[in-house]
Structure 1
Amino acid sequence: MQLFFTDQRKVWRVGQVAGLSRTELSALFERRLLPTGTPILLDEAMQPVEPVSSWIRSLALERKAAKTMRSYAYSVLMLLHFLLARQADLQSATESDLREFRLWRQEEAEEVVDDAAWDRDWAAIESLYRFLIRIGTVARQPWRATPQRSSLASRIRPDLRVRHMELDQYLYLRDVGFGGLAPDAGLDESFRGWRPHRNRAACELALMTGMRVQEWSTLLLPELGLLHGLRPAYADVHLKACAKLGRPRSVYVGPDPMELLGPYLLLERPEIVAKAQRSLRRRCRELFVIQRLEADGTRVRGVLDGVTITRTVKNMKPDLRRLAVRETGDGLDPLALFIGQGGRMLTFSAWDKIRWRAWDRLKAWSGHRRAPVLPRRCWVYHDLRHTFALRLLIFLTREALNDAEAQGLPMSTLLDHMSGNPLLVVQRRLGHAHPSTTYRYINPRELHQMGEKPQVAWSLGEAEPVRRVYGLAS
């Protein structure tokens, strides 16, 4: 058995499928709609393995993310191979078989997994058996469902490995690691990095908004109002398709990150676009060529695979955003905010490479007298989100305490608690479904230091915007 993944656009680029004309192929796609990236499990005769393939299709129709379906499919494929080696299958599997599978995954396999990875495997198995019961393939789940033993999940919540940055650490990361400067604010002539203005702007945007890497790295120019030479002072971005679990929320991008985008938009981005014209023209048939922006840039209309379509910007998924380009008359201009070589939106792996190169620079300068203390592990982009959450909570808590003291209020009302509770405000800004998720971001040791201002000894310029985040502005 082997897993394959659907990609309708690749089929169209091939142009021919044995036994089917393009008209018949188009009709087939219309009858059997499947999102790109949907797994299909095939046997040695290249026939779908049932009922697993039908279960995966049901996940696709439930609009599960391609990444989730891929993870589920590989988990179930390992289970099928495990059962097959014991002359068993999904219908005959018992609770003992599943417990042995867990033991093998966590202790006997070539590459064992921890509790968090096993819980992902178990989520796939539970989903599969719910589907098998629904279609009548099995009468009941093979494990006993009692209050004390309702599943084989570990039920252990992993500790979040996120860290908070002090101001000197952040400026060191942004200006030395990403920006290529020396720790004394001088020019580092040995710097051989690429597009430091872009990388510094991305770092600032992540800190000042608290967006996840998938959210800020996939932003489009219309979402920030950066079209036709316009440079608004601030922007409200409505996230949906690129947000985690597709949960919609609004993100405020203030003047400070918008200002830091200026050098990148004026100097680096036009150069990248100009050099990428030949590559973009060569790939034009594969791109989503925008012909018109509608509704103040909130909708786009263009041609994809020879078909004219209209899409709402906030509902465009990352894969479609990477293909979006605008015909300006002078050439093709990618709609993505952050682009790399070839005019393509930077992938997550590309941003990871940038992060590791920045970390190498930080370690190389770690012996400098102005270099702050570095953690043992490399900074990750999510640490900027954690810093945003913690500093916003500290600021709102201080403001709430000051307001209550100024008004002489002995106790807040229920309405005050619901509308102005700092934790709930941070929850809304981060897009968390439950306050308990936000609470896990909070380091109690940091909260105890709310009355203390961190000591900062830093000489690099442009520090005033982030000083306000850290509560140090005069």
Structure 2
Amino acid sequence: MQLFFTSKRKVWKVGEVAGLGYAEWTELFERRRLPAGTPILLDGAMRPVEPVSTWFRSMALDRMDAKTMKSYALTVLMLLHFLLERDLDLLTATETDIKEFRLWRLEEDEETVEEVSWDRDSAALGNFYKFLKDNAYITHRPWRSTGKRESLGSGISRDLRVRHMELEQYLFLRDVGFGGLTPDGALDATFAGWCPHRNRATCELALMTGMRIQEWATLLLPELGLEDGRRPLTADVDLDACAKYGRSRTVYVPRDPMELLDPYLLIERPEIVARAQRTLRRQHRDLFVVQRLEADGTKVRGVLEGRTVVRSIKAMDPDLRRIAVMETGDGLDPLAVFIGRGGRMLTFSGWDRVRWRSWDRMQMWAGDSAAPQLPRQRWLYHDLRHTFALRLLIFLTREALNDIEAQELPMSTLLDHMVGNPLLTVQRRLGHARPSTTYRYIRYLKDPMREVDDAFREWTAAGGASYLTIARHLLDLEEHGHASQG
């Protein structure tokens, strides 16, 4: 069996070779809609394996994103191979069979997985067997519900991993790691990186907006008001298709990240676009060539796969954004804000390479007197989002306290104000579905490790006190306490 994923664009590339013109391919796609990224499982005779392939198409028509479909498909394919080796199949598998598969994945596979990875597998199996039951392939799922739980997941509630930056750490990341400067702010003559202005601008944008990487890395020029060489002071971006789970929200982009875009837009980006013209022209037929902006820059009209179409910008998925270019008369200008070699939007793996190189630079300068303390593991782009959330929550909470103190309101009103307004504001900014997700940030408002340091600073400063000294002191306190009570 072989697993494939649909790509209309690849079919267009080989259409004429296969003996069909573009008109015939268009008619075929209109008749049988298979969204891009739909998995297809074929047997040795290149026939679809059922009911798995029908489930794949059902997920695609429900607009599940391609990355999730691929993950689900690989999980069910592993289960299928596991069962076939035991002369079983997906429709007749029992609860014991599924639990043996789980045990194999966690403990016996050549490359075992952790519980968090198994929970993703559990979600895939739950989706698959729900489809089978809803469509009468089976009468019930192989496994039984246990109490309130119906999934095969571990049931472990994992704590939110929050790792935020102090100001010195952020500036070191932005200017030294991404920007190629030295810790004292001077130019580093040995810096051999590429596009430092672009990388610094993305760092600032991620921090000051709290956007996820799939949100800021896929931004288009019109969304920031950057079309026709203009650059507004601030911007409001309507996120939709590129937001997590497609959950719409509006993101405010303040003045600082907009200003930091200028060196990249004026120096680096034009040079990248000029060098990419030959590549873009060669790929012209495979691109979404935008002819003009419409509806105050919220929609684009252009030619996609031989047809003139109009698309809402906020509804464009990352794949469509990646191939969108504007016909300027002087050449093709990618609509993506952040681009790499070839004029195409950087992939997530491309941004990871930028991040890894920046970490190597920071490690190189880690011993400098001007360098801040670095964590044991390299920074993630998501750490900038956590920093945004915590700084905003701290600021809003302080504002609430100042308002309460000025108005001399009762404590109950103070608690309502603290728990309600600041948290709900941060929740909206981050695009969290539930306030409980944002609420978990509260425990990080004050670093418990600093409290430990402060608690024992006097002991360590008073001549290197040991744990034994501290313990004796505590015992003395307890004895005096008991004596006074007696």
TM-score by shorter chain over 0.5: yes
Mapped contact 2:404–2:414 kept (Cα < 8 A): no
Mapped contact 1:75–1:121 kept (Cα < 8 A): yes
Code of the residue aligned with 2:224 in structure 1: it is L
CA distance in 1, matches of 2:168, 2:77: 48
1:362 aligned partner: 362
1:186-223, CA deviations, whole angstroms, 9 ceiling, x for partnerless residues? 11100011111111011000000000011011111100
User: Matches of residues 17-416 of structure 1 in structure 2 within 5 Å?
Assistant: 22-147=22-147, 150-411=150-411, 413=413
CA distance in 2, matches of 1:310, 1:195: 33
Q: Aligned pairs, how many?
A: 451
CA distance in 1, matches of 2:148, 2:410: 45
Which has a greater percent of helix?
A: 2
Mapped contact 2:390–2:445 kept (Cα < 8 A): no
| TM-aligned CA distance change 1:22 to 1:222, over 3 Å | closer
Mapped contact 1:394–1:447 kept (Cα < 8 A): no
SS in structure 2 at match of 1:228: helix
TM, length-normalised to structure 2: 0.89
Mapped contact 1:162–1:382 kept (Cα < 8 A): no
2:472 aligned partner: none
1:36-84, CA deviations, whole angstroms, 9 ceiling, x for partnerless residues? 1110011111100000100111111111010111000000001111111
| TM-aligned CA distance change 1:235 to 1:86, over 3 Å | same
Identity of aligned residues (%): 70
Mapped contact 2:401–2:414 kept (Cα < 8 A): no
CA distance in 2, matches of 1:424, 1:51: 44
SS in structure 1 at match of 2:228: coil
SS in structure 2 at match of 1:393: helix
CA distance in 2, matches of 1:23, 1:183: 59
Deviation (angstroms), 1:257: 0.7
Mapped contact 2:208–2:253 kept (Cα < 8 A): yes
Q: Which has the higher contact order (CA 8 A, sep 6+)?
A: 1
Mapped contact 1:207–1:385 kept (Cα < 8 A): yes
Mapped contact 2:394–2:445 kept (Cα < 8 A): no
**What are the ranges of 5 or more consecutive residues in structure 2 without an aligned counterpart?**
452-486
| TM-aligned CA distance change 1:264 to 1:425, over 3 Å | same
CA distance in 2, matches of 1:190, 1:430: 38
Code of the residue aligned with 1:36 in structure 2: it is A
CA distance in 2, matches of 1:261, 1:97: 56
Mapped contact 2:233–2:255 kept (Cα < 8 A): yes
Mapped contact 1:102–1:118 kept (Cα < 8 A): yes
| TM-aligned CA distance change 1:240 to 1:101, over 3 Å | same
SS in structure 2 at match of 1:421: helix
Aligned-pair Cα RMSD in Å: 2.1
CA distance in 2, matches of 1:300, 1:321: 11
Deviation (angstroms), 1:160: 3.5
